[in-house]
DNA sequence: CATGTCTGGCTGTCAGACAATCGGCAACGT
DNA sequence: ACGTTGCCGATTGTCTGACAGCCAGACATG
């Protein structure tokens, strides 16, 4: 057998150490939007970005196109880009899609994930519960949960789409979500999902997942329309 | 009342006569990909595009980012863009997502569409059946069907996502899909969907829709793996 | 035959420039 | 005082030209 084969160097074509500048910039701006350092409705002026990021306008424009395609910014012709602010009906759309697609992802997780991945999922949900009581980093905990879920279930297109939906949901946090007591309830709902996963019951897991997102959507839209 | 109000100029904010150059170019390239004049795997060289389309490289690059985000082209760092060629598992992913999301759209169509829209849907499916027998323009007929469906059901994000999935499915046509007799069967399946819609039975319609896409996926993957 | 080396073809990124367009503001006439 | 009109600055849309860096394949070499 060839000396340079197998998994000596790790599989696959090298993690591409130095990402293209354009992607680094994209990540930074996306992070700024998701952290609400750039608030929905706020305009993104090309010249400002070139200055603050130290890249040329051409690069900035490519980045904006990228984020626009992800739905995080909206470009108004002849006026430029601004951080997307979602309408109530957009929000409803997004939550419905998430319900459908995450149910799909969960079903797959049940079918394809190994024991260790299930344990990791349980650990993640425990972490969420803990951060719901004490004031831990709730956000990071939830991210961790979805990270495990995705790794064990989604490939390619599904993962990409779900990531996009998650990101859009975060935009809604601008209008402060999470009613009192919601975090704890959310943790319980997710725990129910993992219960079903551990029992290897795909349909029950999917249903629990749908329920969770429906509830999340309910409190969200309550805030939006209220 | 204001002289310049009402429907003298037609309603709504003007169909935007002159779209930004970048969008015209995007549409053209996308069309070329969807018509398979650019085949999956084919490289898109920036200089060639600038010459053939008569626009600058900067513009071409923005267009490429856009199409990359839509999943129609894949950019390999330091090598450039090529028309996406889908793996079997990608295809499976996409069909599963379509099943989930179109079921969603159909449910909504039942709830929200008016009688005239239901009639339009029936007309569209009849047209598909006709073009399945005689060698009519099968493609256009199916497009028409989805056009009606989308108009009556989807708003914003859902519509955009589904359009993206449809487009990706078309990429698979490169590896010639449609087994013998498939078009006729597809027409029957879609007819079943409309039957349920006419009966205003949302769940039945959604189920019929899922069935249709599962069958489409089956013949598609049969071709891909075989 | 295996190993270096070179070179052309592209991409990644930049700077600078110019026209077209939008939005607001101020001058204007009534 | 108030609605119009016309102008100006701020920004986007697009083009040109340039240069470094990377990749693959041709070529030369031992």
Tokens (6 digits) for A72: 């995080």
pLDDT given at position A7: 57
Each residue's pLDDT tens digit, A3-58: 555 556 665 555 555 789 999 999 999 999 999 999 999 999 999 999 999 999 99
Q: What is the 3-state secondary structure (H, E, C) of chain B?
A: CCCCCCCCCCCCCCCCCCCCHHHHHHHHHHHHHHCCCCCCCCEECHHHHHHHHCCCHHHHHHHHHHHHHHCCEEEECCCEEEECCCCHHHHHHHHHHHHHHHHHHHHHHHHHCCHHHHHHHHHHHHHHHHHHHCCCCHHHHHHHHHHHHHHHHCCHHHHHHHHHHHHHHHHHHHHCCCCCCHHHHHHHHHHHHHHHHHCCCHHHHHHHHHHHHHHHHHHHHHHHHC
Q: Which 117-136 residues of chain A touch chain B by CB within 8 A? A: none
Cβ separation A158–B104 shorter than 8 A:
no
**Domain boundaries in chain B?**
21-83, 88-225
- How far apart CA B118 and CA B131 sit, in angstroms, is 20
A76 in helix, strand or coil? strand
Each residue's pLDDT tens digit, A66-120: 999 999 999 999 999 999 999 999 999 999 999 999 999 999 999 999 999 999 9
A36 CB-to-strand D distance under 7 Å: no
- How far apart CA A220 and CA A172 sit, in angstroms, is 8
Q: What's the CA angle centered on A99, arms A158 and A112, to 5 degrees?
A: 50
Chain D nucleotides close to protein (CB under 7 A) are 11-18, 21-24
In the structure, how far is the CA atom of residue B38 from the C1' atom of nucleotide C10, in angstroms? 19
Closest-CA residue of chain A to B78: A20
Q: Which residues pair with B76 in a beta bridge?
A: B80
In the structure, how far is the CA atom of residue A160 from the C1' atom of nucleotide D24, in angstroms? 31
Whether B151 and chain A come into contact, CB under 8 Å, resolves to no
pLDDT in tens, chain B (226 residues): 454 444 566 555 555 557 899 999 999 999 999 999 999 999 999 999 999 999 999 999 999 999 999 999 999 999 999 999 999 999 999 999 999 999 999 999 999 999 999 999 999 999 999 988 877 778 889 999 999 999 998 888 999 999 999 999 999 886 656 677 888 999 999 999 999 999 999 999 999 999 999 999 998 888 777 6
Whether B90 and chain A come into contact, CB under 8 Å, resolves to yes
Res A226 pLDDT > 70: no
Q: How far is CA B122 from the centre of its chain?
A: 19
Which of B20, B71, B104 lies nearest to residue A157, judging by beta carbons? B71
CB contact set of B32 (below 8 Å; sequence gap of 6+): B38
Closest CA to B141 of B153, B129, B154: B129
- How far apart CA B139 and CA B128 sit, in angstroms, is 9
Class of domain B88-225: mainly alpha
In the structure, how far is the CA atom of residue B4 from the C1' atom of nucleotide D6, in angstroms? 21
DSSP secondary structure code for residue A221 in this structure: H
Let me know if domain A21-83 sits in CATH 1.10.10.10. yes
Q: Which 191-220 residues of chain A touch chain B by CB within 8 A? A: none
Residue among A14, A59, A93 with most chain B CBs within 10 A, to mutate: A93
A65 CB-to-strand D distance under 7 Å: no
Average pLDDT, chain A: 90
Q: Which residue is nearest to nucleotide C11 (CA to C1')?
A: B78
Each residue's pLDDT tens digit, A177-214: 667 788 889 999 999 999 999 999 999 999 999 999 99
Q: What's the CA angle centered on B19, arms B14 and B21, to 5 degrees?
A: 170
Tokens (6 digits) for A27: 């990540």
Q: Which residues pair with B44 in a beta bridge?
A: B81
Distances in whole angstroms, Cα of residue B195 to Cα of each of B105, B192, B208:
16, 5, 9
Say which nucleotide is closest to residue B47, CA to C1' distance: C10
Q: What angle separates helix A57-70 from helix A46-53, to the nearest 10 degrees? A: 110
Minimal CA separation from A194 to chain B, in Å: 22
* Burial (CB count <10 Å: 0-12, 13-18, 19+), residue A199: exposed
pLDDT given at position B1: 47
Each residue's pLDDT tens digit, A125-179: 999 999 888 777 788 899 999 999 999 988 889 999 999 999 999 998 866 566 7
Give chain A's end-to-end CA distance (angstroms, integer). Answer: 67
Cβ separation A77–B16 shorter than 8 A:
yes
Percent of chain A with pLDDT over 70: 90
Q: Which 63-82 residues of chain A touch chain B by CB within 8 A? A: 65-66, 69-71, 77
pLDDT given at position B186: 92
Classify the phi-psi angles of A76: left when phi > 0, otherwise alpha if psi is within -120 to 50, otherwise beta.
beta
pLDDT given at position B172: 87
**Which residues of A fall within a CB distance of 8 Å from B69?**
65-66, 69-70
């Amino acid at each position: 057998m060839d000396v340079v084969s197998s998994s000596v160097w790790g599989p696959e074509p090298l993690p591409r150490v130095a990402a293209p500048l354009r992607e680094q910039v994209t990540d930074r701006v996306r992070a700024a939007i998701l952290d609400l350092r750039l608030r929905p409705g706020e305009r993104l002026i090309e010249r400002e970005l070139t200055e603050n990021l130290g890249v040329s306008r051409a690069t900035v424009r490519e980045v904006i196109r990228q984020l626009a395609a992800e739905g995080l910014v909206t470009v108004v012709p002849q006026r430029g880009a601004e951080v997307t602010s979602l309408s109530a009906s957009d929000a409803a759309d997004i939550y419905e899609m998430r319900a459908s697609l995450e149910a799909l992802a969960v079903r797959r997780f049940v079918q394809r994930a190994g024991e260790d991945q299930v344990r990791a999922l349980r650990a993640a949900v425990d972490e969420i519960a803990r951060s719901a009581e004490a004031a831990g980093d709730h956000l990071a905990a939830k991210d961790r949960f979805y990270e495990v879920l995705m790794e064990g279930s989604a490939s390619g297109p599904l993962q990409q789409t779900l990531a996009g939906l998650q990101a859009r949901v975060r935009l809604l946090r601008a209008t402060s979500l999470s009613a009192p007591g919601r975090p704890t309830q959310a943790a319980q709902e997710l725990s129910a999902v993992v219960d079903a996963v551990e029992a290897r019951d795909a349909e029950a897991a999917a249903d629990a997942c749908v329920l969770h997102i429906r509830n999340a959507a309910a409190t969200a839209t309550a805030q939006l329309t209220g």
